[in-house]
Amino acid sequence: MGAGADDAPWFEIQRSGGATVLHLGGDIDLAVRELLRDAIAEAAAGAPVRLHIDLRRVTFLDSSGLHQLLVARELVAEVVLVAPSAAVRRVFELSAVESLFTIVDA
């Protein structure tokens, strides 16, 4: 899925010089969990040491999206979550999983 408009979910993988970034956008919920799972698996292919997941354009994240991000931790050595909004960051805080990820503002 490429970049979309409004809250429609989209995913894009970017590889450059050994770095892998999975860009996510829109509403990440139950309806797209399988697409997200597949995007994470594709981004983790080749076993990068670190996978950056860019959340700056995610407008909503539910528990199924959170679950897929937790699964990503099983596929690579480190998952770095980039620029989650305050609402998305709150999901990590309420679920008490923020310490399981490296979270950076940008």
**CB 55, CB 78: distance < 8 Å:** no
Q: How many domains does the chain have?
A: 1
End-to-end Cα spacing for the chain: 23
Q: Which two tokens stand for residue 48?
A: 């990068």
Residue 58's pLDDT band (boundaries 50, 70, 90)?
very high
Q: Examine residue 41 and state whether it is found in any structural domain, yes or no.
A: yes
Q: Is residue 94 part of a domain?
A: yes
CA atoms within 13 A on the CB side of 48: 24
pLDDT at 6 over 80: no
Does residue 21 register a pLDDT over 80? yes
35 contacts: CB under 8 Å, gap ≥ 6: 1, 9, 11
4 within some domain: no
pLDDT band at 36 (very low <50, low <70, confident <90, very high): very high
| pLDDT recorded at residue 7 | 82
Residue 49 lies in a domain: yes
Please write the tens of the pLDDT for every residue from 79-92: 999 999 999 999 99
Domain assignment of residue 93, yes or no:
yes
Domain of residue 73, CATH code: 3.30.750.24
Closest CA relative to residue 62, chosen from 104, 21, 39, 90: 90
pLDDT at 65: 96
pTM for the predicted model, two decimal places: 0.89
Q: Has residue 1 been placed in a domain? A: no
Phi-psi region of 6 (alpha: psi -120 to 50; beta: other; left: phi over 0): left
The reply to whether 88 falls in a domain is yes
Q: Is the pLDDT of residue 18 over 80?
A: no
**Host domain of residue 46:** 10-104
Answer yes or no: is 40 within a domain.
yes
Count CB-CB contacts under 10 A for residue 17: 4
The fraction of the chain above a pLDDT of 90, given in percent, is 83
